[in-house]
Amino acid sequence: MPAASHTYAFLGPEGTFTEAALLQVPDALQAVRVPASNVNAALDLVRDGAADAAMVPIENSVEGGVTATLDAISGGPELRIVREVLVPITFVLVAGPGVRLEDVRRISTHGHAWAQCRLWMDKNIPEAEFVPGSSTAAAAVGLLDKDCHYDAAICAPLVAREHAGLSVLAENIGDNHGAVTRFILVSRPEVLPAPTGADKTTVAVPLPEDRPGALMEILDQFASRGVNLSRIESRPTGQYLGHYFFSIDADGHVGDARVADALAGLHRISPATRFLGSYPRADGQASQVAPHTSDEAFSAARSWVESILSGERPAGENGFAASPTA
């Protein structure tokens, strides 16, 4: 008998891009997978201990949820991002048994997915009629109802694979080839993945005061340590009008001295700053580190200051100024 497997929550329903993201996690296929009706519900399963982790969207132009994710991980009991997953936005047109492409008139999907397949539609089914669905997967699964009132659905390839009754009429019908959605796997706060050299760190930083310059001070904590940002979004905290926090993805791991130093700087400026995780980048791209922001440079700088404080005389320094007596 096998050991108890993991339990993963995800933003449902089954068959969406979010479940496709979850299936990229090595042991997810064997794990218990629990669809949740919204991001908060998925995260609460983790907070309550009912799930080990939850997969939720962080950058997704198809099915939404990003704002909910940003807000949910920044409020409530603390959580940690432990993994990032990219899923290509690939749409298929599916129908029930026996339906042919030329029969299709009424098509259901999520409104955003519909918007992203318009060029293909205009060319191939110009007379198509849009039937709004609550998600791409729900639209696809709805085809299996015997009293379904539409002919086909636009969805992720996954849902077609999961339901034998669905057949794919056309593949790769999205207008923007190469687009991706981005998801995060969220766990409880005691987890901190080891540095890999190609990591990302996510923080949520409330703006200390609504004045010109406060945002600059925050970003300067990264820039002055050579830490590149790959995402920034301001969000109202809901505490009072004009009060914001910034959700930020930065290159590197809190175990890197330059990132740790930047986080310390953030904490001083905005003590309610929330650390949301250091985790491997999905694209595996290693961070560029300038010599003066390397761990060695930080270590050497700290030693130098300590030698001053301890009154030890640093040996072998000759200075740099022109001096006849040097």
**Binding residues for its own copies restricted to 39-78, rule: CB under 8 A:** 39-41, 43-44, 59-61, 64-68, 70-72, 74-78
Contact in structure between 287 and 196 (CB atoms under 8 Å): no
Asked if 211 is part of the footprint of its own copies (rule: CB under 8 A), the reply reads yes
Rounded CA separation 302/307 (Å): 9
| Residue (of 319, 324, 184, 201) closest to 255 by Cα position | 201
Asked if 187 is part of the footprint of its own copies (rule: CB under 8 A), the reply reads no
Minimum distance from CB of 255 to its own copies (Å)?
7
C-beta of 172 vs 224, nearer to its own copies:
224
Contact in structure between 257 and 299 (CB atoms under 8 Å): yes
C-beta of 104 vs 260, nearer to its own copies:
260
Could you tell me the sign of the dihedral formed by the alpha carbons of 67, 90, 46, 251, in that order? Answer: negative
Q: Segment near its own copies (CB under 8 A), from 21-29, 95-103, 158-166, 300-308? A: 300-308
What part of residues 109-138 is at the interface with its own copies (CB under 8 A)?
110-112, 114-119, 130, 132-135, 138
Minimum distance from CB of 161 to its own copies (Å)?
22
Structure tokens of 149? Answer: 């009132």
- Which amino acid makes up residue 50? A
Minimum distance from CB of 244 to its own copies (Å)?
8
Minimum distance from CB of 147 to its own copies (Å)?
9
What part of residues 219-278 is at the interface with its own copies (CB under 8 A)?
219-224, 226-239, 241-242, 244-246, 254-255, 260, 263-265, 267-269, 271-272, 274-275
Select the residue interacting with its own copies from 126, 212, 252, 284 (CB under 8 A).
Answer: 212
Minimum distance from CB of 69 to its own copies (Å)?
11
Minimum distance from CB of 124 to its own copies (Å)?
15
Structure tokens of 323? Answer: 């001096």
Asked if 308 is part of the footprint of its own copies (rule: CB under 8 A), the reply reads yes
Minimum distance from CB of 307 to its own copies (Å)?
9
| Residue (of 86, 87, 107, 115) closest to 170 by Cα position | 107
Rounded CA separation 16/55 (Å): 12
Rounded to the nearest angstrom, the gap between the alpha carbon of residue 82 and the centroid of all alpha carbons in its chain is 10
Tell me the three state secondary structure of residue 308: helix
Rounded CA separation 231/217 (Å): 17
C-beta of 31 vs 52, nearer to its own copies:
52
Residues in the chain: 326
Select the residue interacting with its own copies from 13, 15, 96, 157 (CB under 8 A).
Answer: 13
Asked if 196 is part of the footprint of its own copies (rule: CB under 8 A), the reply reads no
Asked if 189 is part of the footprint of its own copies (rule: CB under 8 A), the reply reads yes
C-beta of 69 vs 167, nearer to its own copies:
69
Rounded CA separation 60/285 (Å): 21
- In b/e form, how buried is each residue of 298-314, taking b as 16+ CB within 10 angstroms? beeeeeeeeeeeeeeee
Contact in structure between 197 and 281 (CB atoms under 8 Å): no
Q: Segment near its own copies (CB under 8 A), from 2-10, 26-34, 92-100, 108-116? A: 108-116
C-beta of 166 vs 204, nearer to its own copies:
204
